[in-house]
Structure formats: C-alpha cells, structure tokens
Amino acid sequence: MADVARQAGVSVATVSKVVNGRYGVAQSTLDRVQQVISDLGYEASLGASSLRSHRTNVIGILVAEFEPFSTELLKGASSAIGATGYELLAYSGGARGAEVGWERRYLSRLGGTLIDGAIIVTPTVVDAANGIPVVAIDPHTGPSGSTPTVDADNFAGAVMATEHLIALGHRRIGHVGGRPDLESARLREAGYRSAMAAAGLPVDESLVVNGGYRAETAGQPARAMLTGPDRPTAVFAANDLSAIRTVEVAREVGLRVPEDLSVIGFDNVPESALCDPPLTTISQPLRDIGAQALRLLVDLLNEREVPTHLRLPTSLVERGSTRRLA
Amino acid sequence: MADVARQAGVSVATVSKVVNGRYGVAQSTLDRVQQVISDLGYEASLGASSLRSHRTNVIGILVAEFEPFSTELLKGASSAIGATGYELLAYSGGARGAEVGWERRYLSRLGGTLIDGAIIVTPTVVDAANGIPVVAIDPHTGPSGSTPTVDADNFAGAVMATEHLIALGHRRIGHVGGRPDLESARLREAGYRSAMAAAGLPVDESLVVNGGYRAETAGQPARAMLTGPDRPTAVFAANDLSAIRTVEVAREVGLRVPEDLSVIGFDNVPESALCDPPLTTISQPLRDIGAQALRLLVDLLNEREVPTHLRLPTSLVERGSTRRLA
DNA sequence: CTGAAAGCGCTAACAG
DNA sequence: CTGTTAGCGCTTTCAG
C-alpha cells in the first residue's frame, strides 16, 4: 500500500479510503490512485485489514477434513454465495482435526479477525460463546442452545432405509451403527429399531454393531456380524462409507451383494454411486444443507431473524446393492 | 493474549514464547501459562500472528469456485497433508472468481501474510512473481516458466476418447470443445483431431463447436450440432459437465443416449457416474493430482529440489453413454 | 479533501 | 529467565 501511495503521490490513508470506497476523496485523486492500484495489481492483505477493521466480508467454513461429506456441503455453500458479496474460506487443520474441540480452536484462530461468521460442520460441541455468528451443520449433540442448526431428518431416513429392506422381504436385518457419541448415529439406530418394531420384527442384538462411521473401523464389526452363527440377509449401515466397507467385507467372506446380502447406506455421497455394485442409500440433500446454512449465516450477519433449526428431508435412492429376498 | 498474560501474571511476550515453543522460559512459568491457556481455550489469532511472523504453517488452495473438479483436488490435498504439520485453507472469492486474474488477486490478498505457499487451481495466468512459493494445477496456459505445474495428459486422454468411439464403429464424431483460451481445451481438441486423422477420418468442421466447459454455455452449440443436416453418431465433449449437458440436449431433441448417440466426457468427476445414463469418460486422477501438488509445494517450502512439471496419466472409464454403432 | 498518528493482536529483538 | 519496546500492513479518528 505504501508503494501505491508513493507512486500516486498521496498518503496511505488516502489509498485506504479509495480501496474501501470511503467518501471524502476528490474525483481526480480517486482516479489517479485507482490507476496506480490496477497498474501495480495491488490488493489489500486480508490479514492486515481484518486485524484493524474487524470486518472482512469473508465467511468461514470449518471442517475437520475435506472428505466427500464436507465437500458436498462446500459445493452447496459455494453455489449459494452468489451475489451476497461474501467470499468463502474453508479451513481444515489437517491432522489436528481429529482432536476433540477442533471447532472451538479453529473458531478462535480465525474468528477474532479473519472471518465475519462461520459454518461449522459436524462439530463435537456447540457453545455459541464465540464472538462471531455461527451456524452448525449436523452437530454431534443435535440442535441445542442458541446456535442455529441445519441437519437432515436422520430418524425418518433410518426408518425409510429399514422399511425398504423389510418391503423386500428381509426379516433378519443387521445394523452397522455409527459413533454412539454422535446424535446422528443414535437417531439412525433409533429409526432402525422403530421400523423393526413397527413391523413386528425382533432385533437380534448380535446383529447391531458399532462401525464408527469410518471404513477402517467398520470392517471388523461387519465381519463379525457376517460370519456369526445366524447371519443377516440384509444390513443397514449408518453411513455410506461403512456400507461400502460392509460390501467389501461381504465379498471377502464369500457373500455376493445383492444376491446373498442386501446392503443399504446413508448419506448418498457421490462415492456411493461409484462403487460396485452401486449402493442403495438414503440421500441427504447435502448441497441444499450447505446452501441453507450459508443463507442462514448471511441472514444472521445482517441481523435478521433466523429459525433456530432447519431439518431437511431425506429420500430413498435405489441402486444395485439391495434386492428382494429370494 | 492479554487476558492469558494477566491471569498467569506474566507479560504477553512470555505468553507468545510459550505459545510458539521458544526457548528461555522457566518450566514453572511454562506450566502455569499453559494451564491458563487451556483453561481459557485461548488460540492465537491467525491474522495477527501471521502479520508479524510471516510464517503460518498454512497452505492455501486458491480456486475460482468450489465445484466437482476443484473439490476432488481438495480431497486429494487433504489426504496428503497428513503429518506435514501444515493446515489447509481453501479460498474462493465467490462471484469474483469469474474475473480474469482472480488468482493474482487472491494471492496478494492472502500471500503476504496468511499462507506460506499456495496451490492455484486452473489459473488463467501464472506469473511466479509473487512472494510465496506456488504450485499450479492445470494452468490455462500450460506448464511454463518457473512455477511447478501438475496436470493430466490431456492430449493422450483425448486421443483415447476418440479412439474409443472409433473402435465402436463411429465415423461421424463431433466435438464439443472447451474454452479455446485454455490450454487443456486446445490439447483435447488436438487429440481429437489427431485420432481422427490417424484413423483416416475427415473432421467435419460443423461438428466441432465451442461448449465453453460449462453446462450453461454448452447447451446451445450442442443443440446446433445435433439438429444440423447431418448429425454425428457420437460426440466427444471436452469435459463431463458439457457432456452431461449434451446428453440432456440430445434427449430434448428426441435422441436416445446411447442408442442414437454415443457421448463421452472428460474428467471423471463423481457426477459423471450419477447421471442417467452413467457417463463414459476419460478419468483424470484428480485426487492424485491434488496430493502431488501438495507434496510438491511442501518440498518447495522446505527448499528441496522439485520437478518443474508433473504429468499424470489418464484412463478410459466405460459406462453407459457409449455403445457400438448399430 | 488530505495526511499524521494511533492502534488492531501478535512476535522479535534487546535490555534488564 | 522475563519484560519493554518497536512494528507487521492496514483503517480510523481527527486536525489541518
């Protein structure tokens, strides 16, 4: 900025006014400074300007990791940013995202200055006590407190998944659950149990295992379930990643999918359509969720009233991993 | 930080030393300060610290927009960040990403302070004259100058796509091109022409149109081609988005895909498998590209020697949108 | 209308 | 070992 000021023969203060479109600059000065700015390709440093002004027009999206789930949300938010005038800054702390409370750390790291507001994706805790407006997507504790929340209807989706398997004639239906400390996983298991009960089917507790939502953690429990004395004919996995892993395990133990075992997932991440066979799953409108969260946050930043909780519907996507019980 | 200092009974300078692990702090002081830090949940502001120290351990990924292409790269970079100790900051300027030279602006906005190095995705220009180390992915001008570049073999991929159609018996093969100002689009068209020539097939220039790489811009030219006097039996589209749009247009004008028209895309973004029919396409190893770019940048930051250009292979993915000419 | 000066939160000499 | 001081690049009073 000093360079610009020198070359335009003005002070940095004046350059700052031009850059920020403040009133009180003569037209001739304005033109001259703007010319120099474009000649030099000058752009204000986000770090420095935010430090002083506490307004950046940047919205942060804080994620533990860039994986299929969070990047779908990102696409949705990006498409909704349109003419809002905000820019998007997605942040992931690499290996540190594994630690509990990462969202609070990222928030204080970026929040004081760099970003005006934040969307936090599947945070473990949501204590709104951070200076800036925050919207949570699918928080682990469920919607609570004063932080607006966007999520999908996990319970209804799980009911839908289980009913689909039941409608195909399955009776022995297993469940590869998610992380039990997460609200979404609890709701999905509850939906499974509710649908089973509604159909008058008993739940064999040896067929309900903890898959931890990840491919690495789902393999062992899935194997145990599928090699047990009385294996299920169908499995509802709590998310697509563990469903895909379950299909792999089934194959490893000599079961064909869907001939010998039907598998249904949850989320409908793009990867679920790419595997073999393509996965039947429950679709969460991830892009919509991202877009809605962004709109909510923008409203919040404009000090408009916003709903405290948005719950979007899920739907069944039938592909090749489920079939009627022979 | 002032709060921490006060509560621990030390100066902010000492707190800074503790936070940054500098030598010269008594163990007792260190313990006390660290206790207060974790009590208060303090985390240094990225903006402020970077302003002063010019070292942040943050790598920036600069994209025009978060869409399927760039988010795949993001997943790759995220998976490669592992134990490097760096964090990832992906930046997109919303609507401003459409302007030419966006990458230079983002770079000066973030580069001076916030990020130690940057990966720029499909930049329009690559003038390495920005303070920080930069790696380019698929730059519009092709690899050039001193900026290390990672891309896929666009020419070979286009040859492969065209040969696939030829092998299926097609003779009248159209090409929905990308943006002619982009190197990748030029190479893909060149590959198409080369494969046609090698097979002794003439190129009907009315069958080579400019689709601009986007769904919105590809529709009209695709329609013109398909409703012309002597329509092609197969189309090679320069990327998946325009291929998908071409399939839609075909359907609108009464052509069935693949029965009446074969369509092949390029990129293999996840969306290409999700459409109906699933798209046959040329796969770019997008995640690999992202991961390699990150490794290159880390090497650069560690002042190691790096190759100036990494070209990754493409491959054919056969799905449902192409078939043998009846 | 313009510029001098103060200060955002932090780090880096340096002095004690 | 610890605190004082200066200043990163910018914005913001406020006086000229």
Q: Scan residues 98-127 of A and list those with Cβ closer than 8 Å to B.
A: 101, 104-105, 108-110, 112-114
User: Is the same domain home to A24 and A60?
Assistant: no
Give B325's pLDDT tier (boundaries 50, 70, 90).
very high
Q: Which chain A positions have a beta carbon within 8 Å of B45's beta carbon?
A: 51, 108-110, 112-114
Block means of pLDDT (10 residues each) for chain A, 326 residues, are 88 90 87 89 90 89 93 95 91 77 88 91 75 91 86 97 98 95 93 98 96 92 94 97 96 96 95 90 97 96 91 96 93
State the nearest residue by CA to the C1' of D6: B52
Residue A81 lies in a domain: yes
Residue A67 lies in a domain: yes
The lowest-confidence range among A312-321, B133-142, B235-244, B257-266 is: B133-142
Q: What is the pLDDT of residue B128?
A: 59
pLDDT by residue (tens digit) across B107-139? 989 987 899 999 999 988 776 556 789 999 999
How far apart, in whole angstroms, are the C-alpha atoms of residue B208 and residue B221? 9
Q: What is chain A's mean pLDDT, rounded? A: 92
- Name the closest nucleotide to A18, judged by C1' and CA: D11
Q: What is the pLDDT of residue A96?
A: 66
Kindly report the number of other CB atoms within 10 A of residue B49's CB atom. Answer: 19
Residue B321 lies in a domain: no
Residue in B with minimal Cα distance to A113: B47
Task: Looking at the complex, report in whole angstroms how far the Cα of residue B92 sits from the nearest Cα belonging to chain A.
Answer: 5
**In contact, B243 and B265? CB cutoff 8 Å:** yes
User: Which structural domain, as residue segments, surrounds residue B10?
Assistant: 2-44
User: Is the same domain home to B97 and B67?
Assistant: yes
How far apart, in whole angstroms, are the C-alpha atoms of residue B198 and residue A257? 43
Contact between A95 and B83 using a beta-carbon 8 Å cutoff: yes
Task: Looking at the complex, report in whole angstroms how far the Cα of residue A275 sits from the nearest Cα belonging to chain B.
Answer: 10
Sign of CA dihedral B209, B221, B175, B150: positive
Contact between B65 and A78 using a beta-carbon 8 Å cutoff: yes
Q: What is the pLDDT of residue B97?
A: 66
Whether A299 has its CB under 8 Å from any CB of chain B: the answer is no
Which residues 21-50 of B interface with strand D at a CB distance below 7 A? 23-30, 48
How far apart, in whole angstroms, are the C-alpha atoms of residue A34 and residue A41? 10
Whether A86 has its CB under 8 Å from any CB of chain B: the answer is yes
User: Is the same domain home to A61 and A147?
Assistant: yes
Residue B243 lies in a domain: yes
User: Is the same domain home to A166 and A271?
Assistant: yes
Asked if the model's pLDDT at residue B235 lies above 80, the reply is yes
Q: What is the pLDDT of residue A97?
A: 65
Contact between B77 and A68 using a beta-carbon 8 Å cutoff: no
Asked if the model's pLDDT at residue B48 lies above 70, the reply is yes
Q: Which chain A positions have a beta carbon within 8 Å of B43's beta carbon?
A: 104-105, 108-109
CA of A99 to C1' of C15 (A): 40
User: Is the same domain home to A278 and A193?
Assistant: yes
Which residues 16-45 of A interface with strand D at a CB distance below 7 A? 16-17, 19-20, 22, 44-45
User: Is the same domain home to A194 and A236?
Assistant: yes
Residue predicted with more confidence, B146 or B178 = B178
- How many Cα atoms within 13 Å fall on the side-chain side of residue A293? 36
User: What is the CATH classification number for the domain harbouring A256?
Assistant: 3.40.50.2300
Residue B319 lies in a domain: no
Going along chain B, which residue ranges are E strands?
Answer: 58-63, 87-92, 117-121, 134-137, 149-152, 173-177, 208-210, 234-237, 262-267, 280-283, 309-312, 315-317
Chain C nucleotides covered by protein, CB below 7 Å: 1-5, 7-13
How far apart, in whole angstroms, are the C-alpha atoms of residue A295 and residue B249? 32
User: Is the same domain home to A182 and A212?
Assistant: yes
User: Is the same domain home to A269 and A167?
Assistant: yes
How far apart, in whole angstroms, are the C-alpha atoms of residue A204 and residue B39? 45
The total of structural domains in chain B comes to 3
Helix (H) or strand (E) holding B325: none
Q: Which residue carries 């809002």 as its tokens?
A: A84
User: Is the same domain home to A97 and A140?
Assistant: yes
User: Is the same domain home to A136 and A114?
Assistant: yes
Whether B41 has its CB under 8 Å from any CB of chain A: the answer is yes
> In this structure, is the CB of residue A5 within 7 Å of any atom belonging to strand D?
no
Q: Which chain A positions have a beta carbon within 8 Å of B94's beta carbon?
A: 78, 81-82, 84-88
From residue B198, alpha-carbon distances to A119, A197, A254, B234, B282 in Å are: 53, 66, 47, 17, 19
CA of B35 to C1' of D2 (A): 19
User: Is the same domain home to A167 and A210?
Assistant: yes
Residue B324 lies in a domain: no
Cis before B270 (ω within 30): no
Asked if the model's pLDDT at residue B203 lies above 70, the reply is yes
Residue in A with minimal Cα distance to B46: A109
Whether B42 has its CB under 8 Å from any CB of chain A: the answer is yes
User: Is the same domain home to A30 and A95?
Assistant: no
Residue B210 lies in a domain: yes
Q: What is the 3-state secondary structure (H, E, C) of B76-98?
A: HHHHHHHHHCCEEEEEECHHHHH
| Strand-strand pairing, B87-92 and A87-92 | antiparallel
Q: What is the pLDDT of residue A211?
A: 95
Tell which residue, B121, B99, B103, has the closest CA to residue B111: B103
What tokens appear for A165 in the block? 């398997």
Tell which residue, A299, A268, A294, has the closest CA to residue A121: A294
Q: Which chain A positions have a beta carbon within 8 Å of B132's beta carbon?
A: none
Residue A324 lies in a domain: no
Residue predicted with more confidence, B82 or B72 = B72
